[in-house]
Every structure is written in C-alpha cells, then in structure tokens.
Amino acid sequence: MDLLLIYAVVFIGGLILFERVTGIVANHFRRSSSLNYRLKLLQGTEDSLGVFKGMVRERALDYDRGAFKPLVQLRRLFAQSGLKLGVMRLAIYAPVIAVLVWLLLSYLGVPTLQRIVVVVLFLVALPLVIMMRVRRTRIRKFTTQLPGTLDVVTRSLSAGHPLPIAIALVSRELPDPIGTEFGMLSDELTYGTDLNDAMLNMIERVGAEDLKLLAISMSVQRGTGGNFVEILENLANVIRERAILRAKVKALSAEGRITALIMSAFPFGLYLMISTLVPTYFDPVWESGYSNVILSMAFAVMVVGNFILYKIVNFDF
C-alpha cells in the first residue's frame, strides 16, 4: 500500500512538473510570436533610424509613383507581400528550381526548345504567384487586426495621449503585420513626415482597402475638426460589419468555389486515372503528330474556363 502511494505521489509530481515546463515553453513561444518584427530588430540597439532604413531596403520600398509603371507595380507587390528575399537566397533558389523543372520536363519527353521556354516562364511566373498569394494572406490578416487596433488608438486618445503616442503604443503592443506597419508609420512621423503623406506611404506598403477609410477619416478630421475618437469608433464598427458581410458571402459561395476547384482539377485527375488503368489509351494522340496543337488548344480552353469560373464564384464588394 505504501509503495502504491509513493508511485501515485511520484506520478502526480511528474505530471505537475511536465505541465509547468510545457506552460513555460508555450508562454515563451507565445511572447516571442507576439513580438513584432520591428521590435525584434530594435532589441539591443539604439539606432532606430538605421533599423527603419534597413526595413525600407528589405521591402524594396520606393514611393516614387511616377517611375516606370510595371516596375512600380512590381515593387508595390513585393512590398505588400511582406517578403524579405535577399539577393543571395534568390541566387540559390532560382537555379535549383530551374534544374528541377528541367529534369521533370526531360522525364516527360518535352523537346529542348519547349523546355527552355517553359523553364523561363516558370521562373518568371512562380515568384509572382507566390507574392500575390502571400500578399492576399497578409492583407486579410491586417484587415482582421485593424478594428482591434482602432480600439487601442481610441482608448489611448480618450486617456489624453496625442495621436503619435497612440500610434507608437500600437507598434509596441500588437503583433505582425499591423505592429510593424504602425511602427514604420510612427518612425515616419518621428522623422518629420506629414501625417497625410505617412498614411499614403502606409497604404502603399499594405494595400488593404479598409486602410484607405482610415486615411480619409484622418485627413477629413484634420481639415474640418470633430470628435476624432467617435470617428475612429464608428470606423472600427464599419470595418467589423464589412468583415461579417465578407464572411457571409464567402460561406454562401463556398459550394461554387469548391465546384470550380473540382472542375479545374478533373481533367488532370481523369488523365492520370485513364493512363494508370490503360497505359496505351492515349498513344494514338501522341503518335498522330498533332499532340502539341491539341494540348495547346485544351490548355487555352481550360484557362478561359477557369477565368470564367473564378469570376462567377468570387465577388468584389
């Protein structure tokens, strides 16, 4: 009986110790993840201006809106994605991806000239697709954080703090992406940029539609006056209602979107299934001499069909 009691005490003690250790580790990672990227760079240094300039270089930010338009759009896409891809990493990734695509096309028996064209197009299209996808995810996360951020600003203003202090509070307390973006906004205000220009630069960096409402509200309030706290509270409610409406539309269109996805993947799945069950089924097509024309026409029709499906199941509001 005494031995069983000792075992029970040891087991309970080990369980409590394990729970405490896992709690400490989880809290550490939670604090680390809640600390935004700008604050991590500022740890251990007093050169806030150098950190700000480094972040501008990392994001390839250039607010010269009168430059060559495709270059401006490419820089804006990269900045709004929040990616930080250095030249060395790009020099490593690009050849590796090119070699893998080349080997895959060689295995499929694609001619050399077509392989070169496909590899070049793939190296151009892949970074654009990745940046667009990451940008969309980042904007969605920023928009989700924005109403709570406006609540923090309104409470700070109600406590008697000026607007730059309220913005700096957001940059210290909130995680990425909104913490870093408001931190860069705070840095620009600290180094003498006008509030309207700083907000335009922030819109350029983020690309969120709801952020334009905040910039317009600030600009109108500065010009006409009024209760800024009440304006921000109403704006936070508007953004929340827009998010709720967006979620409802997404739920109502879920069936159409999954149908579009299945219809897009169905031809490839059918080809793989038939090729697996009857390997010689498509041999007459490959031996006819018109396989390239057939595949090109099929690909063009699929692109047009997928574009139409995308327009049907995605709503702009």
Higher-confidence position of 264 and 185:
185
Inside any domain, residue 160:
yes
Assess if residue 208 is contained within a domain.
yes
Residue 200 has pLDDT above 60, yes or no: yes
Q: Torsion angle, CA of 247/130/128/171, rounded to 10 degrees?
A: 70
Model-level pTM?
Answer: 0.76
Last residue of some domain: 194, 227, 246? 246
Same domain? For 242 and 257 the reply is: no
Taking a C-beta distance cutoff of 8 angstroms, is the pair 94, 123 a contact? Answer: yes
Residue 159 DSSP symbol: T
Instruction: State the Cα–Cα distance between residues 217 and 208, nearest whole angstrom.
Output: 15
- Please state the rounded mean pLDDT for residues 184-196: 91
Residues 197 and 279 in one domain: no
What span, in angstroms and rounded, lies between the C-alpha atoms of 173 and 168?
A: 9
Residue 63 φ then ψ, to 5°: -85, 15
The whole-number pLDDT of residue 34 equals 52
> In terms of domains, do 186 and 233 share one?
yes
> Does residue 116 belong to any structural domain of this protein?
no
Q: Which domain holds residue 266?
A: 253-313
**For the chain, what is the domain count?**
3
Query: Mind listing the pLDDT tens digit for each residue in 19-53?
Result: 666 666 555 545 555 578 888 888 878 888 888 88
Band of the pLDDT at 316, cuts 50, 70, 90?
low
With a CB cutoff of 8 Å and minimum separation 6, the contacts of 37 are 176, 179, 180
pLDDT tier at 151, thresholds 50, 70, 90:
very high
Is position 69 within any domain?
Answer: no
Q: Is 67 part of any domain? A: no
Q: Residue 21 falls within a domain, yes or no?
A: yes
Whether residue 241 is found in the same domain as residue 265: no
Task: Write out the DSSP string of 244-303.
Answer: HHHHHHHHHTHHHHHHHHHHHHHHHHHHHHHHHH-TTTTHHHHHTS-HHHHHHHHHHHHH
Output the pLDDT for position 13: 66
Tens digit of each residue's pLDDT (9 = 90 or more) over 104-127: 878 766 778 878 888 888 888 888
pLDDT of 251 reads 87
- Residue 201, domain member (yes or no): yes
Which residue is associated with the tokens 């998010």? Answer: 243
The pLDDT, as a whole number, for residue 290 is 82
Same domain? For 235 and 306 the reply is no
Q: Which of 194, 221, 246 is the last residue of a domain?
A: 246
- The answer to whether residues 217 and 278 belong to one domain is no
Residue range 54-110, pLDDT digits in tens: 888 888 776 666 667 788 888 888 889 888 766 667 667 778 888 888 888 787 667
Establish if 138 belongs to a structural domain: no
More confident residue, 218 or 167: 167
Q: Are residues 233 and 286 in the same domain?
A: no
171 with 212, same domain: the answer is yes
Looking at the structure, tell me whether residues 158 and 229 fall in a common domain: yes
Q: Render pLDDT for 222-239 as a digit per residue (tens, 0 to 9).
A: 778 778 899 999 999 999
- Do 237 and 176 have their domain in common? yes
Q: Looking at the structure, do residues 260 and 208 belong to the same domain, yes or no?
A: no
Amino acid residing at 240: R
How far is it, in rounded angstroms, from Cα 11 to Cα 17? 10
Q: Does 168 lie in the same domain as 202?
A: yes
Give me the chain's average pLDDT, please. Answer: 83
Mean pLDDT of the 290-298 span: 83
- The per-residue pLDDT for 149 is 94
